Structure 1
Amino acid sequence: MMGNTDKYEMLKLESQLCFPLYVVSKEIVRKYKPFLNEVDLTYTQYITMMVLWEENEILVKHLGEKLFLDSGTLTPVLNGLEKKGYAARRRSETDKRDVYVVITEKGRSLRDKAVEIPSKMGECVPIDQEKAMVLYQILHEMMEKF
């Protein structure tokens, strides 16, 4: 009987790496909510806008890759951003299969309203700067392998 307890050790919640990642991710997104409500964005719309503020235009396929989102998740996000007037989609003139997402002037001006969100979030996350950088490096290293 003693030998059997070891084989179930990995089934304990406290043994899982994925569980604390899930909880922390969920809680951080929850803390974003009041700040994102001020600019009328969901978290997924916000990260999409972050890419558009940087790129101005990007192939939908590349946007999905960059955000780790499939088209079934990305399409409603883009529909919402288009409805709000922050982004538009357009087909490539050289290859009609390629669709670009383009930031609009209204989307560009939203950047000024959102500029304080990262520092406000920094105050909400209970971790010092040094540990945050280590965590950032570890998580990005993992993301690169997916």
Structure 2
Amino acid sequence: MPTAHLIYGYIGSGKTTYAQELERTLPAMRFTTDEWIAKLYDEDESHLQDFRALVSRVEAVMEPLWCRCLELGIDVVVYMGFWARTKRDAARSLAEHLGATAQLHYVHCPDEIAWARVEHRNQDLPGNSIRMVRNTFDVLKVRFEPLGDDEEHVRTETS
């Protein structure tokens, strides 16, 4: 039975590195929203004005692909943020509807380590990520919905 490995964590927590390692060791197909946006739109920041709509469009293209992989019996690593409980629940439900299992992976580190990673990543752009400023990093924290007590997950601490 294939598995959808759903990657959850805040900005800079190490999700990309974790997802890449998981992809190699399983093996699995990896789907990462930020990488797709960076590749499709490069540094054309005009597309980032309505970032939520951009993310929704990219995820709408990715979803049928990772679902098809599951239907074919291929494990997937899906890194689409999953900051909202509703998105996590929907992805788990979809995977199970397709006859797969869903495993939530929580990647965590202290905020100051996460911010240091983001600053370092900003220096290496363009690449597979999107430029971030500290104010945005702090403001977005209110949108990061904690896991519910009933959400089974694998927790990984990064440093």
Please confirm whether the aligned pair reaches a TM-score higher than 0.5, indicating the same fold. Answer: no
Q: Which has the higher helix share?
A: 1
Larger gyration radius, structure 1 or structure 2: 1
Q: Which has the higher strand share?
A: 2
Q: Point out which structure has higher relative CO (alpha carbons under 8 A, 6+ apart).
A: 2
Q: TM-score, normalised by structure 2?
A: 0.28
Q: TM-score, normalised by structure 1?
A: 0.30
